[in-house]
Every structure is written in C-alpha cells, then in structure tokens.
Amino acid sequence: MPDPLKHRLDLWLRSERAMGLPAVPLVDMGYVDESADPSPPKQTPAAPPSRAAQFFAGGPATKQPTAAPPGPPAVTGARPNLYGNAEPPMAKPSANPLPLLDQPFTAPVLSRDEKIRALRELDDAQVKGCTKCRLHQTRTNTVFGEGDPDARIFFIGEGPGENEDLSGRPFVGRAGQLLDKMIAGMGFRRDQVFIANIVKCRPPQNRAPAADETDTCTPYLVRQLEVVRPEAIITLGLPSSQYMLQSKLSMSRLRGNWHQWRGIRLMPTFHPAYLLRAYTEDNRAKVWDDLKKVLEALGLPVPKRSGKQE
Ligand code: URA
C-alpha cells in the first residue's frame, strides 16, 4: 500500500476509534492478502508402509485408498493432506465454537444412563439430519462416533474417510485398524474408549476439513465431550490437535506435551494414517511415548510394548 494512503487510513481508523466505533479490519478492505497467512506445514507423507500392522502386534499392511469418486464443490488453494489428497488451506480461526479453552465444563456429570440418552438424542435429533455445511451434500452417512459413554479416554480424529462414510462408524478403515492396535497396546478394547472426529461428515477426497466446516460441526463434538467428560483427550494428527487447542504450532511442537482443554488434559499424537505413511521405528516410539504418558497420568498400568523392532 502506498505511504500516503497508509497514513490516511491510519488517521481514519484513529478517528473511528475515537468515536467508539470498532476498527474495520484491513482484510475487509482488501489490503491484506489472506492467502499469505502462513499455516503450519502439514506432515510430509513418507514412503508407503510395508509393516504397518506390526505397530504393536504384527500383520501385513495394505495400501490406504487415496482415490475417491468425484463430487464435492471444489475448494480452492488446495494442498496435500495426510492422504496425499488436496485440501483447502486452514483458514484463520474464526468465530469458532471453542471459545472457552481454559474454562472447565460446569454442568454436573451425568449418570451412565443419562449419558447414553443424551448422546443418542444428539445423534438422532441433530447430527444424522445435519445440513449445516457443504459436507452434507456428498456424505453417505454421518459418523457420530462411538464408544463407552463413561470412557476415561476420548480420541479425536480429523473426519470420516470412505469406509467410515459408508459404514457410519469412525476409524474402521486401515487407519482405524492401526488405532485399534494403539488402543489395544494401551490395554483397552475399542469399546472401552470413545472415538469421534472433528467433523461428522466425510470431506470429499479425504481432504482436511475446512475451517468453516469445523467451526460449524464442532459444537457436536463439544457436547459429546461435555456428556462423556473423559479424563484425557488424545487428538490424532495436526488438524484435530490444532483445532482443539486453537494453535498454529507444528505437530512436533504439540505432541508429547500435555495441554488443557476445558479442564481436561489433552495429549496430541500422530494420526494413525500419518503413521501408516511414515512407519518408522522413531514415529512408533513417539506415539507409544505419548500413549504411555496418558496411561501414567490416569494411574493406569503401562503394558509392555509389543511389536517393537530392535
Ligand atoms: N481418519 C479420521 O480422522 N477419522 C476417521 O474416522 C477415519 C480416518
């Protein structure tokens, strides 16, 4: 912007403020290029895994599907996501539904029966028929999430993939099989934890959810967390970790450290789909360290890690 114009704009904004009017953001006036906003880089996918199923136990690995049928309204500014597919840039956090990061829930904890009823009602009355964002146009099923309503540990993924969209259940594809192994490695069955996603409908081509989609959808997740009231949240991957913490830090900065989300401890770790792509001993050890920290914090026994390659 030329200097004289900047000066006049400055005077104008000052006079507005002096009159008690809110300042007009430069973005609205077209003076700031929003596309220049630097979002943290996504994980760079590594070579396809060959021994993914050995994460904790063992078994052959097959390739994660990457192609999806055409469909959705295109979102511009695409960059590769966990699956190597296009995704829109992460927009700045807007008027999002996570305003009270540091304010614990105050509603009383429900009984198990009340939790079951509340979750069912949320799904039946609100999520299943939701048309609040563009993702409803291309979904087959909504994916509410599932697990023990009294779960002590709540996993949060990014969004349903193809298998989840078809089945209506979270983490049932290849990444889900690896998540099951992570859960088993912690000494739990899948139905003893709770598993949900940032968005309840599949983003087309498995792209990461756009900011307006997460902003629209996360009140459902917040309500699920308020009902289940877990002792620990484990966010899987960068989008869910960054979104829950309203952070722009990279995964290497976020994972392995405790964070707080509304009075609940939150541990970010790698997404199993990323792990499938970058299946190194180093990454597996990092994930196991993160999961171990959760067990220790909850006073739970730490099983011996199986499937470790020396
Ligand atoms: N990836 C996710 O983030 N969530 C799912 O439910 C499946 C794959």
Separation of 171 CA from ligand 1 center, angstroms?
5
Residue 263 pLDDT > 60: yes
Return the higher-pLDDT residue of 201 and 71.
201
Separation of 202 CA from ligand 1 center, angstroms?
9
Bridge pairing between strands 194-197 and 153-157 = parallel
Torsion angles phi and psi, residue 179, rounded to 5: -60, -40
Residue 234 pLDDT > 60: yes
Torsion angles phi and psi, residue 194, rounded to 5: -115, 140
State the number of CA atoms in the 13 A half-sphere of 100 facing the CB.
10
Question: In this predicted structure, which of 78-87, 94-103, 256-265 has the lowest mean pLDDT?
Answer: 78-87
Separation of 143 CA from ligand 1 center, angstroms?
10
For a mutational test of ligand 1's pocket, the pick from 197, 205, 236, 271, i.e. the residue with the most ligand atoms closer than 8 A to its C-beta, is 197
Q: Is the pTM of this model over 0.85?
A: no
Ligand 1 interacting residues, C-beta cut-off 6 A: 157-161, 164, 170-171, 175-176, 197, 273
Question: Which tens digits make up the pLDDT trace of 44-95?
Answer: 333 333 333 333 333 323 333 333 333 333 443 334 444 444 444 444 445 5
